[in-house]
């Protein structure tokens, strides 16, 4: 009985920490209509700064809290709202998702530079000591966290339902024009909302920091409040009381499962599930709540759909691109750079280009935000390595088949989700795969999983040049396939799903089959890319398919153009080059880039300066063009995007 009470108190304490972060998410969403993916990262930075002030600089606890929660929250809230989110007015509903993800990777990147991950940092309890109750010892720190969570929840509830400023904060999203007519500045109210949200994020990070007995970890602290995401979803991102109760319930469930269920499992499985539980809770919350209640309040805007290249243009562009790859292989064969060959780096670019093409298909064409393509890539590499040591075509095929099946299984429960909620679901799936599967030492092994290069009867791709050209052929074939899909009737259906799912269903088309199909195909492409990644690298490990690199790569695709094949290639090229030049700054570049393009839905390649009018390209009479295409439109090809007069 004493153990049960101990687990209950610790679970309530853990849930209280989640509740503070979750109420911050509710505040931000209620006042700005934006789900802040950077909430955990803000809490992480606050925790590290609190360590810096209290441990390194010997500043008192009260003064440190004032500096971080008042001064820091005001600065971060005003900067995020004024410099970033206000510029997104009129942008698509998915754009704030990408921008807050950008803020998250910027903060984690800066934290890794400022606070070396190799240095252990522990935070002391704000209040020391303990007392005995019913035969169990209770830490004063635990009581503090629970008390603060209750005060925060009650205070915010009172603010929003019983005060005039609270009404104004809620009205910012519902009707900012009407609020302005009442003499209240919508921008000022939105700033207040972001300041409150930042304050809750920082408070949760600081309070939960002492619970990290092994020391502060950038990634772990950033993802620590993910259970808060689940609680906020249960509260429909609106109700603070429901969010608070859900957070407490999640904390209790997590602690009970960790102490009563997981010890009866194998040690490796128990450890994996311990880390994956928050993401599992988030995924379950998303797929089980009534879909009619899950509506993001993001803004919609019309986006001009680029016209796909004709079949002949695709063929010519692909052949020219492959010819350039042949020249590159002949000129740079054997050239060493930074401990590897240029052809190996080129192979990585092309492999990631295939992953980028899968993102173009799933996100660019159908509008389904997927943050888990690197997970499918890792699964594909694992399957490839386990089938005949990786040097077989059967392993390559099986990688695509297995990932397609898993992709379909992931898509089935998320059919009704879109935009923010699908992004959250794929975020949860990606992290659960990493923490619950890839991190298991038996999956890739301590020294990584060895994957041989493909051998065909009478033909071997053991050399770097042959391997590079093989991957180049797969990239060109993948680009042809994606562009062919876009030209087809199914491709037009994908665009229709992206434009208006309700209208798509109204005319009698099955939106579920379309979503599952495109998600499965995209997963298969990422799986094949993972298999090829293994043949290029020849050894793969857990860090190759981590959550944050996957998110960073998605951001690079969005920066260049998530709607074109050229954007996929340039994103891969940028990712590999920057990773060689400054690995720790990769997330910073991605975050800044996605913030700078702001509301440009078509990315860099959609800017007017990149729309070149080639007078010798004409499309009149071509049967390969999509029906209903507009005149003078933007045409993606495998080598570049051009503006073609109709």
Domain-located, residue 616: no
| pLDDT score for 630 | 34
Q: Which helix (H) or strand (E) holds 310?
A: none
Q: How far apart are CA 61 and CA 50, in angstroms?
A: 8
| pLDDT score for 180 | 79
Domain-located, residue 99: yes
Q: Tell me, yes or no, whether 238 and 385 share the same domain.
A: no
Q: Tell me, yes or no, whether 354 and 244 share the same domain.
A: no
Q: Which of 558, 530, 553 is nearest to 474 (CA)?
A: 530
| pLDDT score for 609 | 56
Q: Tell me, yes or no, whether 334 and 253 share the same domain.
A: no
Q: Which of 553, 296, 350, 583 is nearest to 467 (CA)?
A: 350
Give me the DSSP letters along 48-103: HHHHIIIIIS---HHHHHHIIIIIIHHHHHHHIIIIIIGGGTTS-TTHHHHHHHHH
Give me the DSSP letters along 204-251: HHHHHGGG-TT---HHHHHHTTHHHHHHHHHTTTT-HHHHHHHHHHHH
Q: Which of 256, 279, 197, 212 is nearest to 20 (CA)?
A: 197
Domain-located, residue 630: no
Q: Tell me, yes or no, whether 77 and 176 share the same domain.
A: yes
Pairing status of strand 539-540 against strand 449-450: antiparallel
| pLDDT score for 306 | 61
The CA distances from residue 139 to 1, 210, 251, 428, 521, in Å, are 18, 12, 17, 32, 52
| 3-class SS of residue 633 | strand
| pLDDT score for 384 | 92
| pLDDT score for 633 | 34
Q: Note down the domain range covering 375.
A: 320-583
In the numeric block, which tokens belong to residue 212? 């990290």
Q: How far apart are CA 46 and CA 77, in angstroms?
A: 13
| DSSP symbol at 412 | G
Q: Tell me, yes or no, whether 490 and 349 share the same domain.
A: yes
In the block, residue with structure tokens 């998530």: 562
Domain-located, residue 542: yes
Torsion of CA 221, 227, 231, 234, to 10 degrees: 140
Helices 342-359 and 311-332 pack at an angle, to 10 degrees, of: 160
Domain boundary among 583, 603, 627: 583
* pTM, entire model: 0.87
In the block, residue with structure tokens 């441990």: 55
Q: Extract the residue ranges of the chain whose pLDDT is less than 70.
A: 1-2, 89-93, 134, 174, 267-269, 271-272, 290-307, 388-389, 457-458, 502, 507-508, 598-601, 608-646
Q: How far apart are CA 624 and CA 477, in angstroms?
A: 18
Domain-located, residue 296: no
The burial class, CB within 10 Å (0-12 / 13-18 / 19+), for 408 is: middle
CB-based contacts of 545: which residues, under 8 Å, 6+ apart? 374, 375, 377, 378, 381, 434, 438, 530
The CA distances from residue 643 to 236, 633, 637, in Å, are 43, 5, 11
Q: How far apart are CA 289 and CA 622, in angstroms?
A: 47
Number of residues that make up the chain = 646
Torsion of CA 456, 526, 594, 604, to 10 degrees: 50
Q: Tell me, yes or no, whether 344 and 221 share the same domain.
A: no
Q: How far apart are CA 134 and CA 462, in angstroms?
A: 69
**Burial code of 77-92, b = ≥16 C-beta within 10 A, e = fewer?**
beebbeebbeebeebb
Q: Which of 159, 416, 191 is nearest to 286 (CA)?
A: 416
Q: How far apart are CA 481 and CA 622, in angstroms?
A: 19
Which residues is 455 bridged to in the sheet? 460
Domain-located, residue 620: no
Q: Tell me, yes or no, whether 377 and 482 share the same domain.
A: yes
| 3-class SS of residue 120 | coil
Residue 249: give its domain's CATH number.
1.10.3470
In the block, residue with structure tokens 């809490």: 43
In the block, residue with structure tokens 């934006």: 34
- Alpha carbons within 13 angstroms on the beta-carbon side of residue 82 total 10
Q: Tell me, yes or no, whether 408 and 493 share the same domain.
A: yes
Give me the DSSP letters along 546-594: -HHHHHHHHHHHHHH-TTSHHHHHHHHHHHHHHHHH-GGGHHHHHHHHH
Q: Tell me, yes or no, whether 336 and 442 share the same domain.
A: yes
Domain-located, residue 639: no
Q: Tell me, yes or no, whether 259 and 329 share the same domain.
A: no
As for how many domains the chain has, the answer is 2
* Radius of gyration of the chain from its Cα atoms, rounded to whole angstroms: 25
Q: Tell me, yes or no, whether 403 and 551 share the same domain.
A: yes
Domain-located, residue 278: no
Q: Tell me, yes or no, whether 248 and 394 share the same domain.
A: no
Q: How far apart are CA 579 and CA 51, in angstroms?
A: 30
In the numeric block, which tokens belong to residue 266? 């194998």
Domain boundary among 567, 583, 599: 583
Residue 554 region, left (φ>0) first, then alpha (ψ -120 to 50), else beta? alpha
Q: How far apart are CA 323 and CA 472, in angstroms?
A: 10
């Amino acid at each position: 009985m004493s153990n049960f009470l101990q687990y209950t108190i610790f679970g309530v304490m853990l849930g209280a920490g989640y509740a503070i972060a979750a109420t911050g998410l509710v505040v931000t969403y209620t006042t700005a209509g934006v789900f802040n993916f950077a909430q955990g990262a803000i809490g992480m930075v606050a925790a590290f700064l609190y360590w810096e002030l209290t441990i390194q600089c010997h500043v008192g606890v009260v003064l440190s809290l004032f500096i971080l929660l008042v001064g820091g929250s005001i600065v971060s809230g005003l900067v995020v709202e004024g410099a970033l989110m206000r510029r997104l007015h009129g942008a698509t509903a998915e754009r704030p998702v990408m921008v807050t993800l950008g803020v998250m990777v910027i903060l984690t990147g800066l934290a890794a530079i400022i606070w070396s991950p190799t240095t252990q940092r522990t935070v002391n309890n704000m209040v020391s000591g303990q007392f005995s109750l019913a035969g169990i010892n209770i830490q004063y720190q635990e009581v503090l966290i629970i008390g603060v969570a209750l005060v925060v929840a009650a205070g915010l509830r009172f603010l929003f339902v019983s005060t005039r400023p609270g009404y104004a904060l809620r009205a910012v999203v519902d009707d900012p024009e009407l609020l302005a007519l009442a003499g209240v500045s919508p921008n000022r109210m939105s700033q207040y909302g972001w300041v409150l949200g930042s304050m809750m994020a920082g408070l949760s990070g600081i309070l939960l920091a002492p619970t990290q007995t092994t020391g502060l970890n950038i990634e772990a602290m950033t993802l620590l409040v993910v259970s808060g995401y689940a609680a906020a979803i249960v509260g429909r991102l609106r109700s603070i009381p429901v969010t608070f109760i859900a957070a407490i319930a999640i904390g209790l469930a997590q602690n009970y499962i960790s102490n009563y269920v997981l010890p009866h499992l194998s040690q490796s499985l128990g450890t994996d599930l311990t880390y994956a539980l928050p993401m599992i809770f988030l995924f379950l919350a998303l797929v089980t709540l009534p879909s009619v209640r899950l509506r993001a309040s993001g803004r919609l805007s019309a986006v001009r759909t680029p016209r796909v290249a004709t079949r002949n243009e695709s063929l010519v562009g692909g052949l020219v691109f492959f010819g350039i790859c042949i020249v590159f292989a002949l000129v740079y064969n054997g050239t060493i750079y930074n401990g590897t060959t240029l052809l190996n780096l080129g192979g990585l670019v092309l492999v990631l280009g295939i992953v980028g093409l899968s993102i173009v298909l799933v996100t660019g064409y159908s509008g389904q935000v997927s943050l888990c393509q690197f997970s499918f890539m890792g699964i594909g590499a694992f399957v490839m390595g386990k089938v005949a040591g990786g040097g077989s075509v059967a392993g390559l095929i099986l990688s695509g088949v297995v990932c397609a099946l898993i992709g379909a299984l992931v898509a089935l429960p998320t059919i009704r989700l879109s935009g923010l909620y699908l992004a959250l679901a794929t975020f949860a799936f990606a992290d659960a795969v990493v923490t619950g599967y890839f991190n298991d030492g038996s999956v890739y092994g301590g020294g990584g999983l060895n994957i041989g290069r493909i051998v065909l009867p009478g033909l071997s791709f053991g050399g770097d040049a042959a391997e590079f050209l093989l991957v180049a052929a797969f990239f060109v074939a993948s680009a042809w396939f994606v562009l062919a899909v876009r030209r087809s009737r199914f491709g037009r259906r994908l665009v229709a799903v992206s434009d208006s799912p309700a209208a798509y269903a109204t005319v009698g088309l099955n939106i579920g089959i379309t979503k599952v199909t495109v998600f499965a195909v995209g997963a298969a492409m990422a799986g094949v890319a993972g298999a090829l990644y293994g043949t290029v690298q020849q050894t793969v490990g857990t860090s190759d398919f981590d959550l944050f690199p996957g998110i960073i790569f998605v951001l690079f695709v969005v920066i260049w153009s998530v709607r074109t094949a050229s954007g996929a290639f340039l994103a891969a090229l940028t990712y590999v080059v920057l990773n060689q030049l400054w690995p720790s700054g990769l997330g910073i570049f991605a975050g800044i880039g996605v913030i700078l393009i702001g509301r440009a839905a078509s990315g860099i390649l959609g800017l007017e300066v990149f729309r070149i009018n080639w007078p010798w390209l004409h499309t009149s009479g071509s049967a390969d063009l999509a029906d209903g295409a507009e005149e003078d439109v933007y045409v993606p090809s495998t080598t570049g995007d051009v503006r073609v007069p109709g």
